[in-house]
Structure 1
Amino acid sequence: MKKAARRLDVSVDSGFRPRSSMLTRRSFAMLACAALASGCFPSLSGCSSGKNVVVDAPEVEEAAVRLTFFGFKYESLNVVAIEGILRAYMDAHADVSIVYEGVKSRPYFDALGKRLSSGFGDDVFMVDHDTALAFEEAGYLADLSDLPTIDLMSDLALGQMRSEGVIDYVPTSISAFGLYCNTDLLASYGIDVPETLPQFERACEAFAAAGVVPLVANNDISLKTVAIACGLASVYASDGEAAIASFNDDPALLASALRKGFDVVERIVANGWVDAPLALETEKTADDLEQFATGAFPFMLTGAWAAARMRDLAPELAFEVHPYPVLDDRSVLVVNVDTRVSVNADSPHVDEAKDFVSFFTQPDSIESFAGSQCSFSPLKGNAAPGEPSVQPLAAAFSQGGAVIASDDNLRFPIWENARQCVVAMLGGATAQEAEAMLLSLITAETGDAS
């Protein structure tokens, strides 16, 4: 039966609301089509403001089960892929309607916590390492150990998912972080893509001497992943499992390990290889891309997921994405098993939500979604993204030994804590102060002053 056309109301709010005000099955499909034409999703914060923009169709198509899916993927490439997966699932399950809502990552986690703690948690939602730690303790996460797609996951993914015995999330991608290199600018100065820390430092010195700021960095992931890469490379090159167990027993060992990475960050800031005040204001996958797109900077630090967006933003810019050159003798690939999807343990539709998550993690869905993020597949084989500029990362991934930026086996929220330390360093703190700050943050959370 055909439905009458529905009016779409657009509103802006903080991201917290009861379930009734979200994208419906039909309005989401309409929105995706409009977004493909315009290149921007008006419902999602990346296109207008830092707040969540909700598209609400007052007349909701009736279904026996109505699921809500809340996530931090809000940009058009990612949301179009999600919409395709949702539509395919609903075409095969006529009795289920699913709505998706996306909010930019850091505001998203604030909104997610408020929804769950107030009893308005969505049926399905995205988590990261830090929130999963808190939500496990709060009992918010359903056991997903019986999903049929678990057996399809790679050893790398399973090693993270099974860190606590019970599987309470499934990954839909493995992201990588890299050094974006403006190859034309490097060539014009006779500088090769750096593969070691000394090479990187010499390149930065050469550009700085010529009056060129070498590095674009954002205020979130850029320098913290450098610190983690440098500080933990030796851990993952040897017996990582034993080292991480020792970190859990004595957080001071973790802070000490990261000191080497903080030292590198301190040199970058102190030498003016990054514009620290600008970096403090530079938003991830937004301001940083606009800066690098000018062609005035030789390097940028961010996730590989931005490569396709970078190419669209600056089609004439020649660039490649390489592992971090942070060791004296080699570079380091940094990855995260992420875009993790969980089911609300208090959902009235746990079984249906788990069935949808199983569909989301089937090979066809993973290929579509991970590909939309220039990310590796979490499934066996860890298929690499097809984006040409990130092939140096794919080559490094195939060799193994990558550093996991926020390892599930580590019982501390290192992702947020490392960010706070690096923000302090951009404001003038030393590596020694960052080491002490990291230990203080960990012990404040754990109550362990050992």
Structure 2
Amino acid sequence: MRKSAAALCMAVVLCLSLLAGCGNTPAAGGGQVFVENEAEGQDEQVLKFFAPTDNDSSMARYYKEMIDRYNEGHSGPRVTLEGISTADGFNEYLEQRLDAGEGDDVFILNADSVKPLHAKGYLFDLSGLPVFEKLNDATKDQAMIGDIAYCIPVNMSAYVMFVNVDLLEQYGLESPQNLEEFINCCRTIKAGGGTPLSLNRWYALTVPAMANGLYQIYSAENSKELLAGLNSGEVKIGDYMLEGFELFQTAVEEGWYGDGLDGAAVNALKAGDTDYPDFAAGKTAFYFVTVGNIKRMDSKYPEINCIAQGVPIPGGTVTLPAVVSRLSVNANSEHLEDALEFVSYITNGVYRKTSEGGGSELPIYDDVAFVLSSERMRPAYETYMSGGQIPIEDMRLNFTYWDTVRELCIKMFDGMTAQEAAEEYDRVQAEQLAAYTG
């Protein structure tokens, strides 16, 4: 007997909480592969859906329900769901499974796996699916690598800046609407004995630096030509990122993240260790994080007067959009037509769900009225909708910036200058482009 949707929902909640005992196949990181909806007989055809079990829980439960409904209503291969957490090696294990031809037909893709799997030819072009044409421009941009749509995004978010409005008012300040106002806020708070910025080893560093370097590329009328030039090497990334590194150097030298910090100490600060607690406790005024965290703030700290807004840059603010869940199809699937039919079924369901007022942190479709989950995120939403936003990792580029910027920012805590960081980034760009074309 096939499990009911209710039973499947309970199963995913349990497996998301406790992987131990959910499977017996060791993965790259030492965890266990969770298998749900296994085939009933050896001769039954199976369509494998591989996903990280630490994926957004509400979306994971939704996948479970949709798989159950799909299996009940379709006579083709039976869909089974397998997974393991990202921390236990999901990215590595997905690549190993695909390399071994173990039959993963559909999978959720994390950002850092996109380029390696595309280079091996594993990502089928999904631009022909009807739902692709319904995506808004920001979402389509995030779905492309080269000239193919490597995924269908089913949940969009963006990195933004949380602002403690009450704390600013204590210093006679208002929420900054551009870089000049932001710098003034940070200097005023620091001069008053406070700490302006929450700190972690990732997006606390990368988001303000990237925003204030890459805005020049993504807001330009010739943005596509600049991206092409960056890929050919004719345009140097350091010429643009210098401005972002200069802002970051100022933040380090003036102690906006705190005093006496070095690269090793910063690199030990995992996201969530001190950044969110410091902001929630009113110890910091600004916190760079994804907009979806406003739900946690509303739930745990409704008394805090805070908003989620765009990251200040010269002349305004910007968000850094990021796909939360990428749904992809194995180009080498033995059940390619069935896999595409299943993905169409899933994405059409997501479209209907979003049309009813939920399912994504930020809009992903052009023709669906979006319902804000919290009014406190309206400033960020309005910036996101204004266009010219900066992808958190542009898959169209043949070199990285999320990881590279982070690594260079860490070095700036140990004395690397903005100019040196920009020159090092030019070297990394040239090295990665040579490896890509070679």
Same fold, judged at TM 0.5 (above): yes
Question: Amino acid of the residue matched to residue 400 of structure 1?
Answer: G
| 8 Å Cα contact 1:335/1:402 also seen in 2 | yes
Partner residue of 2:238?
A: 255
Please tell me whether residue 383 in structure 1 is matched to residue 370 in structure 2: yes
Question: Amino acid of the residue matched to residue 335 of structure 2?
Answer: H
- Structure 1 CA distance, aligned partners of 2:311 and 2:295? 19
Structure 1 residues 188 and 400 mapped into 2: Cα distance closer, same or farther (>3 Å)?
same
Residues 221-260 of structure 1 mapped to structure 2, 5 A cutoff: 221-238=203-220, 239-250=222-233, 253-260=236-243
Partner residue of 2:280?
A: 293
Alpha-carbon displacement from aligned partner over 1:380-401 (angstroms, at most 9, x marks no partner): 4583642322111111223222
Instruction: Output the aligned Cα RMSD.
Output: 3.6
Question: Amino acid of the residue matched to residue 230 of structure 2?
Answer: F
Alpha-carbon displacement from aligned partner over 1:407-449 (angstroms, at most 9, x marks no partner): 2332222232223222333444322222123222222222279
- Structure 1 CA distance, aligned partners of 2:89 and 2:256? 29
Alpha-carbon displacement from aligned partner over 1:16-57 (angstroms, at most 9, x marks no partner): xxxxxxxx988752234558xxxx73349xxxxx96864757
Percent same amino acid among aligned pairs?
24
Structure 1 residues 353 and 449 mapped into 2: Cα distance closer, same or farther (>3 Å)?
closer
User: Pick from 381, 401, 410: which aligns with 1:414?
Assistant: 401
Residues 308-387 of structure 1 mapped to structure 2, 5 A cutoff: 308-327=295-314, 329-337=315-323, 339-362=325-348, 364-365=350-351, 367=353, 371=358, 374-378=361-365, 380=367, 383=370, 385-387=372-374
Please tell me whether residue 67 in structure 1 is matched to residue 48 in structure 2: yes
- Structure 1 CA distance, aligned partners of 2:419 and 2:88? 27
Q: TM-score scaled by structure 2? A: 0.82
| 8 Å Cα contact 2:51/2:83 also seen in 1 | yes
Alpha-carbon displacement from aligned partner over 1:331-378 (angstroms, at most 9, x marks no partner): 223223563221122333333322222223226457459945523325
Q: Secondary structure at the match of 1:101?
A: strand
- Structure 1 CA distance, aligned partners of 2:231 and 2:398? 6
Please tell me whether residue 174 in structure 1 is matched to residue 156 in structure 2: yes
Please tell me whether residue 30 in structure 1 is matched to residue 13 in structure 2: no
Question: Amino acid of the residue matched to residue 120 of structure 2?
Answer: A
Structure 1 residues 194 and 121 mapped into 2: Cα distance closer, same or farther (>3 Å)?
farther
Partner residue of 1:42?
A: 18
Please tell me whether residue 268 in structure 1 is matched to residue 251 in structure 2: yes
Alpha-carbon deviation of 1:141? 1.4
Alpha-carbon deviation of 1:60? 4.2
Q: TM-score scaled by structure 1? A: 0.80
Question: Amino acid of the residue matched to residue 293 of structure 1?
Answer: A
Alpha-carbon deviation of 1:118? 4.1
- Structure 2 CA distance, aligned partners of 1:400 and 1:107? 35
Alpha-carbon deviation of 1:220? 2.1
Question: Amino acid of the residue matched to residue 392 of structure 2?
Answer: A
Structure 1 residues 393 and 87 mapped into 2: Cα distance closer, same or farther (>3 Å)?
farther
- Structure 1 CA distance, aligned partners of 2:363 and 2:429? 30
* Structure 2 spans left out of the alignment, 5+ residues: 21-27
Alpha-carbon deviation of 1:109? 3.0
* Structure 1 spans left out of the alignment, 5+ residues: 4-23, 45-49
Partner residue of 2:60?
A: 79
- Structure 2 CA distance, aligned partners of 1:318 and 1:83? 37
Matched length = 420
Question: Amino acid of the residue matched to residue 9 of structure 2?
Answer: A
| 8 Å Cα contact 1:171/1:337 also seen in 2 | yes
Structure 1 residues 348 and 287 mapped into 2: Cα distance closer, same or farther (>3 Å)?
farther
Alpha-carbon displacement from aligned partner over 1:305-342 (angstroms, at most 9, x marks no partner): 22212333433323111101122x32223223563221
Please tell me whether residue 196 in structure 1 is matched to residue 178 in structure 2: yes
- Structure 2 CA distance, aligned partners of 1:58 and 1:112? 17
